[in-house]
Structure 1
Amino acid sequence: MKFLFDLFPVILFFAAFYITRDIYIATAVAMAATVAQVAFSWFKHRQVDTLQWVSLGLIVVLGGATLLLHDKAFIMWKPTVLYWVMGAGLLVSQWLGKQPLKALMGKQLTLPEPVWKRLVLAWVAFFAGMGVLNLYVAFTFSEEVWVNFKLFGGMGLMLLFVIGQSIVLSRYMEDPN
């Protein structure tokens, strides 16, 4: 359920774009949806995830620039900046001696420390690559192709990456029998 909640602004952006065929209206919808998402989190749980704050900041700044300057390039940069911020966050956390993925998944997986470190680096590389790929699609293909890539391509590639990681990590999983 949290996954769908996190995707709420992206799904509304996609829907608004396909209903109106106007990236500026879709951007305004995504901005409103992100503000609503953060407000809902705050009022319901009295806390907001760091990633939601980052998304809110990016959509306000880059979405706002898109609307004020009537330049879609700003909103097209948003996924890239978000991917790079997530990758940098993982890298800095690891450099500071923290294991964010271990904290997130450590109860489900028992891995040797070097494997946790390689897993973080794999995610850093994935996020860096996704940022570059987003820019390539955004500035090489049509607006419609980019909107489709933003929702389906990004999620599809992440799903494939997670499946690949699961296969690699499966050798470390214990058989419950």
Structure 2
Amino acid sequence: MKLLLDFLPLILFFGTFKYAESHKDWAAGFASEHFGALVSGGVVGPDEAPVLLSTLVVIVATLAQVLILKLRGRKVDLMLWISLVMVVGLGGLTIWLHDETFIKWKPTGLYLAFSVVLAVSERFFRRNLIRTLLGDQLPLPAAAWRRINAAWVLFFAVIAVLNIAVAYSVDTATWVNFKVFGITGLMAVFMVGLGVYIHRVLPPETPEAPRSTEEGPQ
């Protein structure tokens, strides 16, 4: 359930974009009729409609994520709050100004924010946020947690740069495919590599001493 909730905005963004891209005239009419008040000039063109509609959907989906967690009494992670601020701010600019550039910067801004938060927390506040999240499940030495935190900092920074490089090098449809499949694939590869490293440094379990079956003196 949590995994589905985490990926819900991305899935809805991709599905909305692909459908609207295949029905541009319908998407433009639908967006202009129902969401014209949110757009400067009140009219959405066929080439703008797919990204504007998918941006609107991802804003609503991210808001729904936070609302669902709140209603269930669950904690909203800092990263989700950052994601919400980014998607509402940059997504809102994309919709109002008819400019897809802003939503393309959203993953870069988000991953840079993650990278900075992890680095600053470790460097200046002596708080390893990755260890805070997973320390109870993985009894790793402090040096290993520092390396894992540094790996996440570097990975997020690389993805941030890679996203904007792709955004400015290809058309919007190709960027959407990269955002959904490329970044997700790179994340999966990174997680596998991280899992291999954790397996190597994870201390072996200490076997429990066998219980004595002998009875004491009567």
Residue aligning to 2:115: 87
Q: In the TM superposition, what is the alpha-carbon distance from 1:44 to its structure 2 partner? A: 2.1
Amino acid at match of 1:144: A
Residue aligning to 1:105: 134
Alpha-carbon separation, structure 2, partners of 1:111 and 1:41 = 30
Q: Cα deviations across residues 74-119 of structure 1 (Å, max 9, x unaligned)?
A: 0000001110111111111101111211122223322221221111
Alpha-carbon separation, structure 2, partners of 1:153 and 1:111 = 30
Q: How does 1:1-177 map to 2 (within 5 A)?
A: 1-21=1-21, 22-45=50-73, 47-95=75-123, 96-176=125-205
Q: Which moved more, 1:38-47 or 1:152-161?
A: 38-47
Q: Is the 8 A contact 1:110 1:172 kept in 2?
A: no
- Larger gyration radius, structure 1 or structure 2: 2
Q: Cα deviations across residues 32-87 of structure 1 (Å, max 9, x unaligned)?
A: 11122222222221642222221111111100000111100000000011101111
TM-score for the superposition, normalised by structure 2: 0.77
Q: In the TM superposition, what is the alpha-carbon distance from 1:126 to its structure 2 partner? A: 0.3
Alpha-carbon separation, structure 1, partners of 2:105 and 2:181 = 17
Alpha-carbon separation, structure 1, partners of 2:178 and 2:138 = 31
Q: For structure 1, list consecutive stretches of 5 or more residues without a partner in the other structure.
A: none
Residue aligning to 2:212: none
- Greater relative contact order structure (CA < 8 Å, 6+ sep): 1
% identity of equivalent residues:
42
Alpha-carbon separation, structure 1, partners of 2:136 and 2:71 = 29
Q: List, as ranges, runs of 4+ consecutive aligned residues in structure 1 with deviation greater than 4 Å.
A: none
Q: Is the 8 A contact 2:144 2:201 kept in 1?
A: no
TM-score for the superposition, normalised by structure 1: 0.93
Residue aligning to 2:216: none
Aligned length: 177
- Please report the RMSD computed on the Cα atoms of aligned residues, expressed in angstroms: 1.5
Amino acid at match of 1:168: Y
